[in-house]
Chains A and B, each alone.
Chain A
Amino acid sequence: MKTNFQKNKIVEHPKESLAPKSGDKKDYTQSEFEEFIIKSGAVGSYMIFRSENEEDEMGISEL
């Protein structure tokens, strides 16, 4: 992870909060999210691995 230990200068953040709950409606559009990801290059070295065989997503003991 890319977090740090250093405290940065104190800045103003919005006071309102969004609590993530089960089954929340979609909070933002795909295009909003995509635009940000493309502009920022915020893609890590790995994706979450997905498979049609959902069991594989939890790991394979011997590959």
Chain B
Amino acid sequence: METDNQSEIEKVMKKVYFEFDTAVSYKSWVKNFALNLENIWKEKSAKKLSENTVSDIAIVIGRGPSLKNHDHLNKLKSSNYNGAIICTDGALATVLKAGITPDRFPEFYVVTMDPSSETGRHYKDEIINKYHGKIKGIFSTVSNPNTVEKARKLGIEIFWFHSLVDYNEGEKSFNQISALITRAKNHENGLPAIQTGGNVGTTSWFLCWKILNCKTITLIGINHGWEDTDSWETIMTHNRMCKMVEMDKNSESFKKLFPRIYNPDFDCYCILDPIFQYYSAGLKEFIFRSPEEIKTINATEGGCIFGDRIKSMKLEKFLTKFD
């Protein structure tokens, strides 16, 4: 495990997060939770999904570039795969348009964990409405309420979970207080609290294991890295999600912050930024720490998710198991 690097990254992320971002994030958690509360009380716990799962195999679909590079959605659509589909919110419309639908794959879920209003754009496409009443949405209690409402109007059935953010800070933490409020009505036993790993891909992997009781979790479109064809502007701003910092691209610092790494399992390269270093090391760590019975297959055919307890495999090969 990349413990030294990850420990350094986490120290910095924690410091910066608490110094510069917590005030903003905390306000959005509280506001979103407050506005979601009536619906949280009325709607179901994600735990309910555990009672009705049919398959113990799931495919998590991210929106990494390898999805398109390897024509994965078309291959999946043409296969005899009959397990669950867990779609990250950003991939939903693309996935449906490619023919990966709840009509074809009845165990079809979409996941939203980010509190940002930006997530609303994932629920704008009219194609989602075509599957009214057939998609199950697994939402964090601090998801943006406007996003959840859009999903609801499109006929997505909402199931709630808590995102673990500050539970370790004790009785007065946001996690503990919001859990107590949730338990006050209709959810006396509370809701499941899920490790997000900071991103919806890792959240989805956890939901497959912890909520859908899947024993085999296959990843596609989970690159957690950039392609050689992506511009430095895209890479250095995490696709325009943060500010461009001018750096000497020949400096040692630059090469360490944006390493180009070799993925021996798929014989390819990818470029990481600090955010992907943080996310990918986290996901790899949690896969490593999961029980032996949980098998993680990476069929992304690119990116940087490889290592201990991760079986890399071409998607085509994985799908032949269902022939």
What are 12 residue pairs bridging A and B, where the CB atoms are less than 8 Å apart in the complex? A3-B223, A5-B65, A11-B232, A16-B260, A22-B307, A23-B3, A30-B11, A37-B12, A40-B236, A46-B25, A49-B168, A50-B168
B185 at the binding interface (Cβ < 8 Å): no
A39 CB contacts on chain B under 8 angstroms: 243, 245
Closest residue of chain B to A14 (Cβ to Cβ) is B260
- Chain A interface mostly helix, strand, loop or mixed? loop
**How many Cβ-Cβ contacts under 8 Å join chain A to chain B?**
218
**When each residue 259-302 of chain B gets 1 if its CB lies under 8 Å from chain A and 0 otherwise, what string results?**
11110100001010111001100100010011000000000000
Query: What is the bound-complex CA distance between A53 and B195, given in angstroms?
Result: 13
For residue B26, give the distance in angstroms from its CB to the closest CB of chain A.
Answer: 11
How does the 8 Å CB contact mask read for B72-96 relative to A, with 1 for contact and 0 for none?
Answer: 0000000000000000101000100
The verdict on B113 contacting chain A, using a C-beta distance below 8 Å, is yes
Q: Give complex CA distance A23, B90 in Å.
A: 34
B residues near A (Cβ < 8 Å) are 1-5, 8-17, 20-21, 25, 28, 47, 62-65, 67-68, 88, 90, 94, 113-116, 162-165, 167-168, 175-176, 179, 189-201, 206, 210, 222-224, 226, 228-234, 236-239, 241-245, 247, 249, 253, 255-257, 259-262, 264, 269, 271, 273-275, 278-279, 282, 286, 289-290, 304, 307-308
Complexed CA–CA distance, A58 and B262 (Å): 29
Given contacts A37-B13, A61-B210, A63-B193, 4 further A-B contacts (CB under 8 A): A1-B201, A4-B234, A4-B239, A47-B165
**A residues within 8 Å of B by Cβ?**
1-5, 7-11, 13-14, 16-20, 22-28, 30, 32-34, 36-53, 56-63
State how many angstroms separate the Cβ of B256 from the closest Cβ of chain A.
Answer: 4
Q: Are A3 and B11 neighbours in the complex by a CB distance under 8 Å? A: no
Q: How far is the CA of A36 from the CA of B243 in the complex (A)?
A: 10
Choose among A23, A40, A46, A62 the residue that contacts B198 (Cβ–Cβ < 8 A). Answer: A46
CB of B286 within 8 A of CB of A44, answer: no
> In the assembled complex, which residues on chain A have CB atoms less than 8 Å from the CB atom of B201?
1
**Chain B contact residues: helix, strand, loop or mixed:** mixed
The 7 closest A-B pairs by CB, nearest first: A28-B256, A49-B164, A63-B193, A51-B168, A8-B231, A60-B193, A42-B242
Across-interface contacts of A51 in B (CB, < 8 A): 167-168
Q: In whole angstroms, what is the CA distance A56 to B71 when docked?
A: 38
Known: A20-B2, A45-B116, A49-B164. A30 touches B198 (CB 8 A): no
Asked if A63 and B190 sit within 8 Å, CB to CB, the answer is yes
Report Cα–Cα, A30/B152, bound state, in Å.
Answer: 44
Q: State whether A13 touches B228 (Cβ < 8 A).
A: yes
- CB of B9, distance to nearest CB on chain A (Å): 6
Whether the Cβ atoms of B12 and A48 lie closer than 8 Å is no
B102 → chain A closest CB, angstroms: 22
Q: State how many angstroms separate the Cβ of A29 from the closest Cβ of chain B.
A: 8
Enumerate chain B residues within 8 angstroms of A3, measured Cβ to Cβ: 62-65, 223, 226, 239
**Is the CB–CB distance between A28 and B257 below 8 Å?**
yes
Chain A residues near B304: list those with CB within 8 A. Answer: 20
